[in-house]
Amino acid sequence: MSEETSILPAYIPPKARSLFEPHRLFLMAVFAVIIFCAAWFMRWDWLPRYGGRLAYGVWQTLVMLFWSSIVGFLLAVPIGLVQVTGPRPLAWLAKGFCSIIRGTPLLLQLWLLYYGLGSVFSQYPELKSSFLWPYLRQAWPYGFVTLMISFAAYEGEVMRGAFAGVPRGELEAARAFGMGRFTMFRRIWLPRAIHRALPTLAGETVLQLKSTPLVATITVIDVYAIISRVRQDTFLTYEPLLLLALIYLCLTGILVAAFRFLESRIPTREA
């Protein structure tokens, strides 16, 4: 087997070096001037009017990110597992699922689910009287499901590698201790695999964060949608988008810091 090639070149935080080298101070001064110019010469008078809505949008983005990642990860575990040890048909099914999701653009999947299913629904009027309809007529379930599926497919591929990479000896030792298959899975295999997958999790979650604004194209209100609203109300080209970039930059930074904290809490002693 060749080396696992599916790991995405995700965000890797820069190494911390001394911030106070002379050229750094110079660069910081230059950036400060640029930021000052941007604040001074561009139009920001719209900001107070949208402050509340922006905060709400950021919250929606984070909620979307959090739940789609958690549920996606829970799905990724069986998807990874059946590819390593499951029966052939199930393994093929999981592999096919991963290939299809990873081989097509997320935007297309989103539109297929929302507008494609929407066109199917209009053919079945009886659906509208069912108890599911209040959910099916909203946009966020489609955004959530698409994001969740995408996370499951990408992380499923990582989990496959992680399950396969747990040393045989550890599993044999567990068996020798008289553990049943399920106990062995619960106590040894799964925790060891998750431990191995953890370093990629930060990167995958950042990628997931960067995918969330796509749901705005199917009328879900997130921070991107609020900024689109600002763009349309004010006809400004750059200012709202620059603010949006800054917001995502901060969110990514917080996410990476949170994962670093999490990883520091878990003892590592990788062979």
Partner 1 sequence: MKTIIKTVALAIVLGTAALGVAQAQEVKVGFAAEPYPPFTSPDASGKWVGWEVDFMDAICAEAKLKCVITPVAWDGIIPALTTKKIDMIIGSMSITDERLKTIDFSDKYYNTPTGVIGQKTDKFEATPAGLKGKIIGVQVSTIHQDYATKYFGPGAAEIKEYQTQDEANQDLAAGRVDAVQADSIALDAFLKSDAGKCCDLKGYVKDDPAILGQGVGVGLRKGEADLKTKINAAIKTIRSNGTYEKFSKKYFTFDVYGK
Partner 2 sequence: MPSGLELLSLSPPGWGGVMLAGLAASLQLAVGGYLLGLLIGIGGAFGKLYGGPILRDLLEVYTTVIRAVPELVLILLLYYAGTDAVSQLFLLVGLPAVDISGLAAGIFVIGVVQGAYSTEVLRGAIKAVPPGQIEAARAYGMSPLQALRRVTLPAMLPYAIPGLANLWMIATKDTALLAVVGFSELTLVTRQAAGSTKAYMTFFLAAGALYLLVTLVSNIIIALIERHARRGMPRTG
Q: Which residues bind partner 2 (CB under 8 A)?
A: 1-3, 5-14, 21, 23-24, 26-27, 99-100, 102-109, 111-112, 115-116, 118-120, 206, 209-214, 217, 224, 237-238, 241-242, 244-245, 248-249, 252-253
Nearer to partner 2, 133 or 238 (CB): 238
Report how far residue 222's alpha carbon sits from residue 212's, in angstroms, rounded to the nearest whole number: 8
Q: Does 109 bind partner 1 (CB under 8 A)?
A: no
Report how far residue 230's alpha carbon sits from residue 253's, in angstroms, rounded to the nearest whole number: 24
Binding mask 111-150 for partner 1 (x = CB under 8 A): ----x--xx-xx-----x----x---xxx-----------
Report how far residue 34's alpha carbon sits from residue 55's, in angstroms, rounded to the nearest whole number: 26
Nearest-approach distance from CB 241 to partner 1, in angstroms:
9
Nearer to partner 1, 91 or 139 (CB): 139
Nearest-approach distance from CB 174 to partner 2, in angstroms:
24
Report which of 213, 43, 219 is spatially closest to residue 141, judged by C-alpha positions.
Answer: 219
**Contacts for 213 with CB less than 8 Å, ≥ 6 apart:** 61, 222, 223, 224
Nearer to partner 2, 127 or 190 (CB): 127
Report how far residue 198's alpha carbon sits from residue 158's, in angstroms, rounded to the nearest whole number: 10
Total of residues contacting partner 1 (CB under 8 A): 19
Q: Does 228 bind partner 1 (CB under 8 A)?
A: yes
Nearest-approach distance from CB 53 to partner 1, in angstroms:
13
* Residue 26 site contact among partner 2, partner 1, none (CB < 5 to 8 Å, cut-off depends on kind): partner 2
Q: Which of 99, 104, 130, 232 binds partner 1 (CB under 8 A)?
A: 232
Residue 7, sorted as left (phi over 0), alpha (psi -120 to 50) or beta, turns out to be beta
Nearer to partner 2, 102 or 192 (CB): 102
Residue 24, sorted as left (phi over 0), alpha (psi -120 to 50) or beta, turns out to be alpha
56 touches 225 (CB < 8 A): no
Report how far residue 109's alpha carbon sits from residue 97's, in angstroms, rounded to the nearest whole number: 13
Between vectors from CA 203 to CA 197 and to CA 208, what angle results, nearest 5°?
A: 110
Question: Encoding tokens for residue 56?
Answer: 């709400």
Nearest-approach distance from CB 129 to partner 1, in angstroms:
11
| Residues in touch with partner 1 (CB under 8 A) | 115, 118-119, 121-122, 128, 133, 137-139, 217, 219, 225, 228-229, 231-232, 235, 237
